[in-house]
Chain A
């Protein structure tokens, strides 16, 4: 230990101690000189050898190398700038993507023991119902029986209406059981979280605000204790959450379960089949996801035995769980990994490009290195010098990359936010900095090693001025060709990735969703359930009255051509509501599964407004009133599935609600609508007339003359005129809604396209460089050919053919690589094969064209060679 500290001491006082040693040796020499003139030897060398004992020589040498390297880089600004640009871009994209990958996929959840947090899941796989949620009864059962899960807390989401602002606001409320936040192991940012007391019936209504909501609207600690008027109650703010990711989605506020009238209704509490809640859990310490899964499966099989009616064998019933971290990031993982891989390839191209530049520069530095070698520098020392230079360059490139990355990070964060609520956690953190440092150093060593080790010291030839092309130079030339070929190959792979993604995007964009959204504006009008409910169900008269008055106001507005009330607009975000139905007169086995259909509410104008075609029968009419026979319209898919060989108009279907059967006559069949995603198949749908079943209505749509966005004000005014406390949210045109569902794919295509373009540009400059060098090295030979009567066209072809060989070899390798690698893209693609021949052919053509142009430009110089000058040149 003393040794270590003394070493540091010698490092810090190096200059003084060197002088003292020098003095010692000077005195020694003097005293020796008095006696006899024995030679002391090279005193400088002796001193250096003595210093070596201190163990800091390497540092001095490194300092020398760095100073020398910086001088060399300053002397070659062209090379330095080009290399810095390529490296900065390469390292920059990697840094940016790694910070997202780290923040979203790698960083532990900001909850205590986040790896023990799980999301529970129930499924009826044979009935195609995945992730159905949990009923109150089931939550009680799992809590009582689980062996592996220490704590389970429930969650569901509600829309509440905040009445304190100028305009009524819809707030997203997460409704959670009392110890939900304790389970996450987080501490309140302000105030406190819920207690059992808050969850008892009749307790004062309390609220916890989410951090982003608080930050956006209040940003003031005094918010705790404030009163919010929401729906029919006054709620008191008791606390604010810290900034943590929220799953399954972000909420503005949180409330205890008693705050939700549906959740606390006796009917919900007793109904085992009402799967409204999500359940989160914390594994006991020592338990794993696997043992948790086994635990869930065991309980599920017990439930199945105890309640065969609720869990029919024909539906299949499974219960399982996933790690919360996994669930939070599942959707974004494949995209991020593909993007990071792509960024890695871009860096590889940048590396190959800079290595190529460095090789070209080495040819000019041959003499300098030979001189240094002749003066006694060892080969290792020269290699170290060259590696130091390249590492300086790559570290500077890393700094530029870091700057670029932090500049465009917010863009990437908003991109990732489309997939995961963890996106908010992405920052340039310490691990990201370490990653950038590591990547920079590895990059520097990688592109530095190629020229440094291809350097064979051929002193005699190098020192001779004007030494002609030696075999060594030829081998280096081969290396340059290999590097250029690699760049072409990687560009090809990247272009294929981008091409496939873009093709998939175009296909998605061209999907016929089954409706015509042109000039249609939609808005959600989530009714205040406290106001429009009577007892446990919506007051249909009130709901109808509200919407009819809104429709009346709008229909009188000039420029509005049609108005419709639906439950949801096509492609609007949100979960479909569905229900099992029976077909009357069709014998169904006792345990047979009932078919399930999505339930949509529509007014007589809805179908024409959306341009959904009537295939047979009729649309709803104003005659389908409450007292008239109940009717439904079915989608084409449903008709095909269940009435393939029959006339559906002779059949009736039955829905069962609260043990009461309601029977409907089928009066029409309409075209399928891709309601929930362009990449998803249309779902069997039953349309109910608003007049007869208005309960789930919540969207107003208007078809307008001209730009629908010009009618936003009229829409708002119509709603506020009917009920000033009624919020309007998500005012969007149908084209915007459609665009939103494409946004993620569009952004992914854009990023991949950008990377591929970057790679192509870098590779093109690389090819240009190779050809340019080829031309300049063969100037003399070309001169001879021209002097002997070769046509300039022939010579040009000869040079281009050589370049073509590199390009074609690169294409061949790229093709192989792309065929092997493109399958990782599979999950990202829609209706596009990973080996899509059109994409491969197109990309090959583009690359070939760019490569040809890139080598043609420098090759053209041969046609300007003057044979006389060329022959004199050497």
Chain B
């Protein structure tokens, strides 16, 4: 089960969450999510970059220049204060939805 589909609407939250400890470049974000999900989740580039552009526009992340492990100039994405707030609210929403789903699954 190498390529589990992402739950719709959760990609942004996951990106923000992995950016919480510090700035990462695009590939590292995908890698982080992949590792942390015990290699269950795979972020497609076709979703990652459009999502990052949207988040840049919303002002949740900002891009800054850095150097990759392969010694290439590349943009690192850093979460902004606005992004932190967004992450919190998305996590809260997600918790509530999960609780709801869990409740239904348990009782029905």
* Cα A47 to Cα B26 with chains together (Å): 14
Counting residue pairs across A and B whose Cβ atoms lie within 8 Å, the total is: 69
What is the size, in residues, of chain B's interface with A at 8 Å between Cβ atoms? 25
Q: Is the CB of B27 within 8 A of A28?
A: yes
Q: Is the CB of A31 within 8 A of B57?
A: no
Q: A27-B27, A28-B26, A32-B27 are in contact. Are A46 and B45 (CB under 8 A)?
A: yes
* Cα A3 to Cα B68 with chains together (Å): 29
Which 5 A-B residue pairs are closest in the complex by CB-CB distance?
A53-B53, A50-B49, A28-B27, A53-B54, A27-B74
* Cα A30 to Cα B25 with chains together (Å): 13
Complex interface: chain A residues within 8 A of B52 (CB): 50
Q: A2-B59, A31-B27, A31-B68 are in contact. Are A49 and B74 (CB under 8 A)?
A: no
Q: Is B73 part of the contact surface with A, judged by Cβ < 8 Å? A: yes
Q: Is A546 part of the contact surface with B, judged by Cβ < 8 Å? A: no
B8-32 residues at the A interface, CB under 8 angstroms: 25-27, 30
* Cα A681 to Cα B74 with chains together (Å): 93
Who on chain A is nearest to B49 by CB?
A50
Q: Is the CB of B68 within 8 A of A41?
A: no
Q: Is the CB of B50 within 8 A of A27?
A: no
CB distance from B45 to the nearest CB of A (A): 6
Q: Is B107 part of the contact surface with A, judged by Cβ < 8 Å? A: no
A30-45 CB contact bits vs B (8 Å, 1 = yes)? 1110100000110000
Question: A17-25, A58-66, A259-267, A750-758: which lies at the B interface?
Answer: A17-25
* Cα A31 to Cα B67 with chains together (Å): 13
Q: Is the CB of B74 within 8 A of A50?
A: no
* Cα A49 to Cα B25 with chains together (Å): 19
Q: Is A6 part of the contact surface with B, judged by Cβ < 8 Å? A: yes
Q: Is A272 part of the contact surface with B, judged by Cβ < 8 Å? A: no
Complex interface: chain B residues within 8 A of A50 (CB): 49-50, 52-53
Q: A25-B49, A50-B49 are in contact. Are A3 and B57 (CB under 8 A)?
A: yes
Q: Is the CB of A53 within 8 A of B50?
A: yes
Q: Is the CB of B46 within 8 A of A41?
A: yes
Q: Is A7 part of the contact surface with B, judged by Cβ < 8 Å? A: yes
Q: Is the CB of B50 within 8 A of A24?
A: no
Q: A6-B59, A41-B45 are in contact. Are A31 and B70 (CB under 8 A)?
A: yes
Q: Is the CB of A54 within 8 A of B70?
A: no
Q: Is the CB of A3 within 8 A of B59?
A: yes
Who on chain A is nearest to B29 by CB?
A28
Q: Is the CB of A49 within 8 A of B57?
A: no
Q: A3-B57, A10-B57, A31-B68 are in contact. Are A20 and B50 (CB under 8 A)?
A: no
Q: Is the CB of B73 within 8 A of A46?
A: no
Q: Is B91 part of the contact surface with A, judged by Cβ < 8 Å? A: no
* Cα A2 to Cα B75 with chains together (Å): 22
Q: Which of B46, B69, B73 is most buried by chain A, counting CB atoms within 10 A of its CB?
A: B46
CB distance from B24 to the nearest CB of A (A): 12
CB distance from B25 to the nearest CB of A (A): 7
* Cα A7 to Cα B59 with chains together (Å): 11
Q: Is A51 part of the contact surface with B, judged by Cβ < 8 Å? A: yes
B52-91 CB contact bits vs A (8 Å, 1 = yes)? 1110111100010000111011110000000000000000
Q: Is A141 part of the contact surface with B, judged by Cβ < 8 Å? A: no
Q: Which of B49, B59, B68 is most buried by chain A, counting CB atoms within 10 A of its CB?
A: B49
Interchain Cβ contacts under 8 Å between A and B, 6 examples:
A3-B59, A20-B75, A24-B74, A25-B26, A27-B25, A31-B70
